[in-house]
A and B are shown apart, each in its own frame.
Chain A
Amino acid sequence: MKGKVMSYPVEQNEKFAAYAHPERLVSTEWLAAAVESGAVSSGQLVVVESDEDVLLYETGHIPGAVKIDWHTDLNDEVTRDYVDGAAFAELAASKGISRDSTVVIYGDKSNWWAAYALWVFTLFGHHDVRLLDGGRDKWIAEGRELTPEKPAPARGEYPVVEREDAPIRAFKEDVLAHLGKPLIDVRSPEEYTGQRTHMPAYPEEGALRGGHIPTAASIPWARAAAPDGTFRSREELDALYLGEAGLTEGDDVVAYCRIGERSSHTWFALKFLLGFETVRNYDGSWTEWGNAVRVPIVKGAERGSFPVPVGA
């Protein structure tokens, strides 16, 4: 696909130009103009809403947008894995998406589920998929149009493409082999230290141990987002990831959270905004690592070291 002309023009603006891959973002103004021009209703541009709340799209969405639910559409119902090539092709086609479509994804909560959906599209090598900077909340805050009307897009033509996990997805074994290279833990500080309290009669959130993967830097995902849900500027992101987390250009990085959704947001920032070539999202994340037998963990605010001293 290299060198292929993007099927829909890329937005040019000063903020995006500072990022490594400006073609991966669009602004609300740009999308509003595209909706206005009829590009969405004609299917030239496909807008996808992907939220944490499975009913939020139904309450009102960007005119012409289709819905993709991270859980019911993208996850396999039986195996803890993503859908396969055939299921993805069917999903895409049913939403009016063809292999060469330009897809703009947006969602609630500063786009974390949208970033997760974009990451899954990338597992299938979808070439032109972008995020709406600021997501659903910014669109609404600006008083832009919403409609509960569900579009009936003409079926897209999507070939069965097998997922290529290796470049952007890390499994537990990959993370064990990666120890010693940079890791970013994007969960809250309480989850990172393992001190998240567990009150009487409150079930714990599905992990037997609290803490983090040895050597992981704690950079909660939301720090990459401004209060309006847009991504922080290039300068701010550099300060966060190159400064505070201590990454250096060319690093091989793995990001994780609890199930891989919040870390998709960080993955997007590292991969497309800062331009790290090798960034993988560990979707097993803490719900796997915190339950796995005999994997090393570190408790407390220190990053810890690897190998973990014997008897520690």
Chain B
Amino acid sequence: MMTTQALPSALAAIVDDFQALTEPERLQLLLEFSQGLPDLPDRLKDHPELLEQVVECQSPLFLTIETERGSGSVRLYFKAPAEAPTTRGFAGVLHEGLDGLSAEEILSVPDDMPELLGLTRAITPLRMRGMTAMLGRIKRKVAASTAVRS
């Protein structure tokens, strides 16, 4: 079993919150994350072609990343419909846990981090695949942008 020690602190805190709860409460927390997912900024809202679809998610989920000049912080942007609260909830977890971190910190997150949330049984492995795919896509995009810059 992985521990949360290797995770960036914001993500580790989210994982700890989930792990401290019972299964029904974890679902409720995921619902809260879905409600907390920020809207896209206007410049992206008007340019859906700048976002990429994560096809493994059962419902449409689009995302993109931007690296801030100077600080090198990675900003994450997600779009998922309100009718897909589970997908939105996963996006909300990744946004709160990873937004603003450095490329290195994001790349260090283990690929199977979503398993740590303790949702697999309640959500089912099929639905968890979407979350793992979302994290994988973020890491691939971060790795690609790092390669371009160096």
Within 8 A of B (CB), among A109-156: none
Cβ–Cβ contact B30 & A55, under 8 A: yes
Which B residue sits closest to A59, measured CB to CB? B85
**Which B residues lie within 8 Å of A108 (CB)?**
83
Closest Cβ of chain B to A13, distance in Å, is: 28
- Residue in A55, A59, A202 whose CB lies within 8 Å of B55: A202
Residues facing B in A45-78 (CB within 8 A) are 52-56, 58-59, 71-72
Contact yes or no, B83 A54, CB < 8 A? no
CB atoms of B127 and A54 under 8 A apart: yes
A-B pair count, CB < 8 Å, reads 47
A54 contacts which of B56, B82, B86, B140 (Cβ < 8 Å)?
B86
- A293 at the B interface (CB under 8 A): no
A201 close to B (CB within 8 Å): yes
Q: Judge whether A71 and B126 touch: CB under 8 Å.
A: yes
CB contact under 8 A between A52 and B59, given known A58-B85, A59-B31, A59-B82: yes
**For the complex, what is the distance from the CA of A203 to the CA of B134, rounded to whole Å?**
12
**Min CB–CB distance B123 → chain A (angstroms):** 6
| Contact residue among A52, A54, A203 (Cβ-Cβ distance under 8 Å from B123) | A54
* B27 lies within 8 A of A72 (CB): no
Tell me what chain B mostly uses at the interface: helix, strand, loop, or mixed: helix
Per-residue CB contact flags for chain B residues 83-96 toward chain A (1 = under 8 Å, else 0) read 11111010000000
CB of B58 within 8 Å of the partner chain: yes
- How close is B146's CB to chain A, nearest CB, in angstroms? 16
- A201 close to B140 (CB less than 8 A): yes
A54 touches B122 (CB 8 A): yes
User: Which A residues are in CB contact (< 8 Å) with B108?
Assistant: none
Q: Are B31 and A58 interface neighbours, CB within 8 A?
A: yes
Q: List CB contacts (< 8 Å) of B38-87 with chain A.
A: 55-56, 58-59, 82-87
In the assembled complex, how far is the CB of residue A190 from the closest CB belonging to chain B, in whole angstroms?
12
In the assembled complex, the CB of B23 is this many whole angstroms from the nearest CB of chain A, namely 10
Bound: A201/B132 CA distance, A: 13
Query: Which A residues contact B (CB, under 8 angstroms)?
Result: 52-56, 58-59, 71-72, 108, 201-203, 205
Residue in contact with A53 in the complex, picked from B87, B121, B126, B133, CB distance below 8 Å: B87
Once A54-B86, A55-B86, A58-B85 are accepted as A-B contacts, the answer to whether A203 and B122 lie under 8 Å apart by CB is no
Judge whether A55 and B126 touch: CB under 8 Å: no
Contact of B122 among A52, A53, A56, A72 (CB under 8 A): A72
CB proximity of A183 to chain B, nearest CB, Å: 25
Residues of A within 8 A of B122 (CB): 54, 72
Identity of the chain A residue whose Cβ is nearest the Cβ of B85 in the assembled complex = A55
Q: Specify which of A58, A108, A205 lies most central, judged by the most chain B CB atoms within 10 Å of its CB.
A: A58
Instruction: Give the Cβ gap from B130 to chain A, nearest Cβ, in Å.
Output: 11
Taking CB atoms, residues of chain A closer than 8 Å to B27 are: 54-55, 58
> For B28, B55, B83, which residue has the most chain A Cβ atoms within 10 angstroms?
B83
Nearest neighbor of B58 in chain A, beta-carbon distance:
A52
Complex CA distance for A202 and B86, rounded to whole angstroms = 21
Residues in A with CB closer than 8 Å to B31 are 55, 58-59
Residues of chain A within 8 A (CB-CB) of B87 are: 53
Specify the chain B residue showing the minimal Cβ separation from A108. B83
Closest to B81 in A: A53
| Min CB–CB distance A288 → chain B (angstroms) | 15
When chains A and B are docked, how far (Å) is the Cα of A58 from the Cα of B56?
23
In the complex, chain A residues whose CB is within 8 Å of the CB of B59:
52-53
Q: Which residues of B contact A58 (CB under 8 A)?
A: 27-28, 31, 85
Known: A56-B84, A58-B28, A203-B133. 20 other contacts (CB 8 A): A52-B58, A53-B58, A53-B83, A53-B87, A54-B27, A54-B122, A54-B123, A54-B124, A55-B30, A55-B31, A55-B34, A55-B85, A55-B89, A58-B31, A58-B85, A59-B82, A59-B85, A71-B124, A71-B127, A108-B83
